Amino acid sequence: MKIKNMLSEKSTNWKIWYAIFPFLSMLVASFFVSFLSGINGVAQLSPLLQFIIMAVFSLGCVTLISKKFPTSMDLGFDTKTLSKRNVIIILSVFVITHLSFFFLSKISGITTDAKAEFTNTGFGNNSFSDLILIISTVIFAPIFEEIVYRGIMLRSIHDGMLKHFPKSKSIFGLPAITAITITAIAFILPHVANLSINVMTLAYFITSAGFSVVYLLTGSMVAAMVSHSLQSAYAFSNLLIYGHGDYKLSPIIYLISFGAPVIVFVIGEVIRKLYNKFKL
């Protein structure tokens, strides 16, 4: 299997500075979520709204500046998802990143309390809150965050730099490495409260880098979404199994968590086919 940067074959005309839009989207989403959290009945929806606002704002800015909505090629919805090569890449990245997490935890000596993590994550309040949280983390986050971080941020940096370094088309070239690094740093910001260099920040950096590698090697946005969902499903399924204690979770929560990669794949394929149907 060739390690080939598939994005370099279908470069956009986007500028490097388009990458600022996802950064701004974090601020805008944070502001709106803080405002809406004070409204009765809306606070529980804030995790869902945050991801939607980030994606809509970022896509809106690119559309406004470039004077056209991102095409299927721009975002990577033009590529077949489940080729043998793509499946191998997704599974390989999953294994490598989790081996990295294992060694990081061993080196640091950090152990996690599943029950405490279950509560800290936000589970255990009520069934509706649990449902919104699991949908947000294992379905909405993989879909909307990948559009923001990989589809817009990484794409802008990679393609913008490729114009200045046209011979650096490799996955190990300067455009790809720079895009992976900056996107990983941006990915850390909304996920880690303490931005000091520790095991958690390194874990999120590695996670984001893994998703970016999937996107670059496959050229497929749906593949990146599935890769993200696979990571989230694994993490949250473990949390639900070992951390719930005496709290009874609805079977629907487990079903969504375990089946998230399939659900995300189906949604991604629907988006891809809609793009093709309307020839965007």
Q: Is residue 207 part of a domain?
A: yes
Mean pLDDT score, 1-23: 90
Q: Is residue 258 part of a domain?
A: yes
Q: Is residue 104 part of a domain?
A: yes
pLDDT level of residue 178 (50, 70, 90 thresholds): very high
Between CA 279 and CA 71 the distance in angstroms is: 8
**Residue type (1 letter), 115:** K
Q: Is residue 20 part of a domain?
A: yes
In this structure, what token pair is assigned to residue 20?
A: 């600022």
Q: Are 42 and 129 in contact (CB under 8 A)?
A: no
Q: Taking the C-alpha atoms of 199, 228, 260 and 91 in order, what is their torsion angle to the nearest 10 degrees?
A: -100
The answer on pLDDT for 115 being more than 80 is no
Q: Is residue 134 part of a domain?
A: yes
* Domain housing 144: 6-277
Q: Are 169 and 5 in contact (CB under 8 A)?
A: yes
Mean pLDDT score, 29-46: 76
Q: Is residue 1 part of a domain?
A: no
Q: For the chain, what is the mean pLDDT?
A: 87
Neighbours of 156 (CB within 10 A): 25
Distance of alpha carbon 120 from its chain centroid, rounded?
21
Tens digit of each residue's pLDDT (9 = 90 or more) over 209-250:
999 999 999 999 999 999 999 999 998 888 888 776 667 788
Q: Is residue 177 part of a domain?
A: yes
Domains in the chain, number: 1
Flag whether the pTM goes above 0.75.
yes
Q: Is residue 79 part of a domain?
A: yes
Longest dimension (CA), the chain: 59
Give the highest mean pLDDT range of 35-49, 101-115, 135-149, 199-213.
135-149
